[in-house]
Structure 1
């Protein structure tokens, strides 16, 4: 298994869909429409059948679970070229952006006053990361059904003003759902919260990190670059035309 495929599957393990079926190495995933990653077929590796057949099965899986057929495809991969030949196109209207970077880097722990990592998500954490104090079933499953997950929070005057999710898979920390309230941005709170998360993850055996960020999210990309991350590869979402 090449490094890109291995990393994509590690990230998928850290972000479990509500329903997942394997098609050879491919992962067909559905989660009620909550996030692109959890509602697409990860096309890394060998599906064990012809690509045309694999795409037809992926589309059928999506339709059975009430979501749009979508393929999560690493740019420049074998699947990237094959899928284009079978009537699928890049979804330029995807809500999260058609193209995303996967960034990797070392852990650089450091303290942040008031930051902590909880074992369970609080109502304030849910509200800031999902917009609701009480998550729906898909959100709860994707974000809190795995083991090895920490919920980073930073509070000011009793309110959660920054939040993040970290999941440790082997020696990898998968970072997601980083959010800072608009009223508290540009105060370096995100960097401090992440360094607190790094310390928590290192204590659990993590030595490296990975995250997925839309190419248009320049502010987040610059933040992770400041923390030592670099682009590892990119992926896009494809749909039947």
Structure 2
């Protein structure tokens, strides 16, 4: 399952198990690392599994949320259990998972580093000195930190993570004043060349459906949609605030 591959590229501080389901915690940093990936058999009746999601979330002081593949029987069953789409998580409540070939061409000055710079952190997290959770989530695993330096600043950045044969792309950012110069494509080309040297043969991305600009870029690079997922949260009365 490709979604399990993606989850290995985005490591939480803590991951549990509810059967095959994976409750995750990273002190609130990103929905992916602070939700339960509801794929496979939870090993118990669905109402009990959803209560276990609630218990895990309450214990770790995060909202109870499940990440579910869209338009599946699992999503239908969760909706029938009184859970609702977690539209509060804007703009990434609904996400398209894309796959495509490694790209080729000019790197436009982009380089892939073994260690993140303060400029990379600032571009990807908003802080040159991020807290433990973003540091852990973004730097764990076989990760390349892509940057373009222009006019004495980090003009663009990307995170590439290798999971098996896949290059997982995340946190692609270009400063507003440097857009429309081909930097995003250059970062993708540089990350692809780096990933090919690590044995990767394809690229996978998780992109908010609302992010039309990013979707267009990746479409132009040959990526197509593999599936979508959505986040769901308990509706009124669907998640008891039970003591841990």
TM-score (norm 2): 0.94
**Offset at 1:182?**
0.5
> Which residue in the other structure is 2:51 paired with?
56
Cα shift at 1:149: 0.5
User: Hey, what's the Cα distance between the residues in 1 that align with 2:46 and 2:179?
Assistant: 45
- 1:174 is the counterpart of 2:165: no
SS in structure 1 of the partner of residue 40 of structure 2: coil
* Deviating more after overlay: 170-179 vs 70-79: 70-79
Match of 2:123 in 1: 128
Q: Deviations over 1:174-216 (max 9, x none)?
A: 1000000000011111001111100000110000111111111
Establish whether residue 145 from structure 1 lines up as the match of residue 151 from structure 2. no
Q: Structure 2 regions of 5+ residues with no counterpart?
A: 236-244
Q: Any unmatched runs of 5+ in structure 1?
A: 1-5
| Distance of 2:72 and 2:16 partners within structure 1 | 22
Q: Is the 8 A contact 1:110 1:199 kept in 2?
A: no
Of 89, 98, 102, the residue aligned with 1:94 is: 89
Aligned length in residues: 235
> How much is the aligned-residue C-alpha RMSD, in angstroms?
0.9
From 16, 19, 26, the counterpart of 1:24: 19
Q: Within 1, Cα distance between the matches of 2:152 and 2:158?
A: 17
What TM-score results when the alignment is normalised by the length of structure 1?
0.95
CA–CA distance in structure 2, aligned partners of residues 230 and 113 of structure 1: 24
Match of 2:240 in 1: none
Three-state SS of the structure 2 residue aligned to 1:23 is coil
- 2:17 corresponds to 1:12: no
| Alignment check: 8 A CA contact 1:36 1:96 kept | no
Q: Structure 2 matches for 1:1-241, cutoff 5 A? A: 6-146=1-141, 148-241=142-235
User: Alpha-carbon deviation of 1:97?
Assistant: 2.6
* 1:3 aligned partner: none
Q: Is the 8 A contact 2:23 2:53 kept in 1?
A: yes
Deviations 1:196-237 (A, max 9, x none): 100000110000111111111000000000101001111111
| Deviation (angstroms), 1:47 | 1.1
Q: CA deviation at 1:115?
A: 1.1
Distance 2:111 2:7 in 1: 25
Q: Distance in 1 between matches of 2:86 and 2:107?
A: 39
Runs of 4+ in structure 1 off by over 3 angstroms are none
Whether the 8 Å contact between 1:42 and 1:72 is mirrored in structure 2 is yes
